[in-house]
Chains A and B, each alone.
Chain A
Amino acid sequence: MSKALTAWIEGIGFLAPGLPDWPTARAVLRGEQAYAPAPSVLPAPSILPPAERRRASRVVKLTLAVGREAAAHAGADVGQLATVFSASGADGHNCHALCEQLAGEDRQISPTRFHNSVHNAAAGYWGIATGAMAPCQVICAYDASFGAGLLDALGQVVVDRQTTLLIAYDSEYPQPLFAKRPVPDVAGVGLVLAPQRTERSLAQITVAPDTANAEPLADAALEDLRTAIPALRALPLLRKLALGEGGVICLDYLPPMQLGVAIQPC
């Protein structure tokens, strides 16, 4: 009675340190361009109304960037897509500021700080920016967040037959939390997943439980990114998509459970 966790990838968005968008990441993953480390660059969130734009944090800018890039790549209307946001943490800078203030004498925190503290803040801003009233899921599974997000997104695609935008993303904490959770910078991956093949389809993927090890990336700097930023556990999949290659790869999920991904380019 099992149904395969199968979807067609229609669009990709990407942002990571030294890799400002999917075309750049694709060229690097194809070996056409050397990886040049640099801090992540976040575009201004021009799509937000002025009040929300002023309050937009790094995770908000990040998710708008990778989500909109993926949707544009797919030729999809962001206002119609169901979304799955998956992140190992929320806005680290906001969290630090809150904890610092709550440890002091004056605990009258600002309302904006509070509503920006929720794990689903980026998803909330996404809704305001895009007008999307479709279901929006917000997941956390620590280092396994990409895999957890992928599983739920595939659930929506296969069971609900709904094209779904997965946005996996992470952000850094400032000190002293950084010492406890050293995510080095912001990074995010956006994937538009459709329930059937269309003329836009880039590849078909089918996900199944596995126990193999994830294959490390040959480039040491990229491998460091894969292991340092949970959303970038997706890199072995993205490398295959960049190369336009089929095959089966393994992604890190939640030990001992890994995710095997069978990829077939369209």
Chain B
Amino acid sequence: MTPLLLSAYTATTCLGRGLDATRAALRQGRSGLAPCAFETVALATWIGEVAAVDAEKLPKSLAAYDCRNNRLTQLGLETDGFADQVRAVIGRVGKTRVGVFLGTSTAGILQTELAYRRRDPQTGALPDDFIYRTTHNSFSLAEFTRDYFGLQGMAMAISTACSSSAKVFAAAARQLELGSIDAAIVGGVDTLCLTTLYGFASLQLTSAQPCRPYDAARNGISVGEGAAFALLERAGDPAPGSVLLLGTGESSDAYHMSSPHPEGLGARLAMEAALRSAGLATADIGYINLHGTATPANDAAEGKAVAALFGNTVPCSSTKGATGHTLGAAGAVEAVVCALALSDGFLPGSPGTQNVDPAMRLDYLLQGKAATVRHALSNSFGFGGSNCSLILGVAP
């Protein structure tokens, strides 16, 4: 693919709001996970909750969108000057020429979960103040973002569970290549809700401890929440040090709804496709941000696929021990982690992980380290066997 410029990017997770907080936490090897005290959830698990989400007030004209997921969307957009950069691009190319491509797994389902507690005792009806379209629907965060900036062009939400906000980069790249848009707001937002917390618990995929990706004793995920965005534009002649999207690769496991292919076959196809798309060889990759959810099956399958393709020479880590698994936001959060690694020359470690599983033949980073790398690969895999790998690079 033709390289695209990330002209702005930002991430907000339990590590803090924005790039500086994220960078500082990754450098310190700090985790933002805490024992679950979300809403009325009674589960022995740890979560990655973003501070002060519900203090965020939406503009009056967009009040119909009010729910935790859109509060976090706005919080994320108004971080690191991202919204200002979006407005500047709209001023340059026009409001029909900036597309919106956002990933989510559950959007504002929490709003519906809460509304179901307030059903009319006689009729069973949901309360009048519950608005399906602008809160529950998977498109709500993309429609909110489009309206927030007064955009009039294309918009879509991509919802492939935990690969959602990696796949938005691929979809936006196609439209930029076609010339149907001049810039794209890409990203992902997912917020804590009962469906995912109780759902992952029902599959026995949540850990009672902070998650330990790639650890021999790993036993499940820590659900997190997050909002991460990037502004993609055609790169032209990028300034040295600019972060670029160089390749995207998508594949399907065609294996099982909630378990990965045991040999990581789909994962391998996605990584190979991303390398082809970027025109790079495995030796060109200097860091891999693994999907690394810390379930026994995910890490085993991904570890096999990465080792088969890259051997044990490429430094890699999962940062989910720091952020938790932000589900539909994970792809975008970890693309930003890669962008920071490339621009800062610091590869993050893996908070929570103590003893790397000896079955993993990888150069797995327990601690972060300084290193100058040109290209980073980020993996995101989701339920339903949906896989996406991204390759980011830094302009020489």
Q: Which residue of A lies closest to B119 (CB)?
A: A176
In the complex, per-residue mask of B236-266: 1 if CB is within 8 Å of any chain A CB, else 0: 0000000000000011111111100000011
Q: A5-B178, A133-B254, A141-B142 are in contact. Are A124 and B384 (CB under 8 A)?
A: yes
In the complex, per-residue mask of B248-292: 1 if CB is within 8 Å of any chain A CB, else 0: 001111111110000001100100010000000000000000000
Q: What's the dominant secondary structure at chain B's contact region?
A: mixed
Interface-side segment among B15-23, B191-199, B307-315? B191-199
Interface-side segment among B70-78, B159-167, B358-366? B159-167
Q: Which residue of B lies closest to A209 (CB)?
A: B96
The verdict on B112 contacting chain A, using a C-beta distance below 8 Å, is yes
CB A150 to nearest CB in B, in angstroms, measures 11
The verdict on B302 contacting chain A, using a C-beta distance below 8 Å, is no
The verdict on A54 contacting chain B, using a C-beta distance below 8 Å, is no
CB B4 to nearest CB in A, in angstroms, measures 13
The verdict on A117 contacting chain B, using a C-beta distance below 8 Å, is yes
**What band does the interface of chain B fall in when counting residues whose beta carbon is under 8 Å from A?**
35 or more
Which of A90, A124, A131, A139 is the most central at the interface, judged by chain B CB atoms within 10 Å of its CB?
A: A124
For B156, the chain A residues whose CB sits under 8 A away are 139-141, 144, 148, 151-152
Q: Which of B107-141 contact A (CB under 8 A)?
A: 109, 112-113, 115-117, 119, 123-126, 130-133, 137-140
Pairwise interchain contact B254-A127, C-beta atoms closer than 8 A: yes
Among B117, B160, B177, point to the contact of A103 (Cβ < 8 A). Answer: B117
Among A2, A130, A177, A180, point to the contact of B254 (Cβ < 8 A). Answer: A130
Q: Which of A121-153 contact B (CB under 8 A)?
A: 121, 123-125, 127-128, 130-142, 144-145, 148, 151-152
CB B266 to nearest CB in A, in angstroms, measures 6
Q: In the complex, A115 Cα to B200 Cα: how many Å?
A: 9
For B154, the chain A residues whose CB sits under 8 A away are 148, 151, 253-254, 257
Interface residues in chain B, defined as those with a beta carbon under 8 Å from any beta carbon in chain A: 1, 42, 96, 105, 109, 112-113, 115-117, 119, 123-126, 130-133, 137-140, 142-143, 146, 152-161, 167, 170-171, 174-175, 177-180, 194-195, 198-200, 202-203, 250-258, 265-266, 269, 273, 382-386
| Complex A-B, nearest 5 residue pairs according to Cβ-Cβ distance, in ascending order | A124-B384, A155-B174, A2-B179, A114-B199, A119-B159
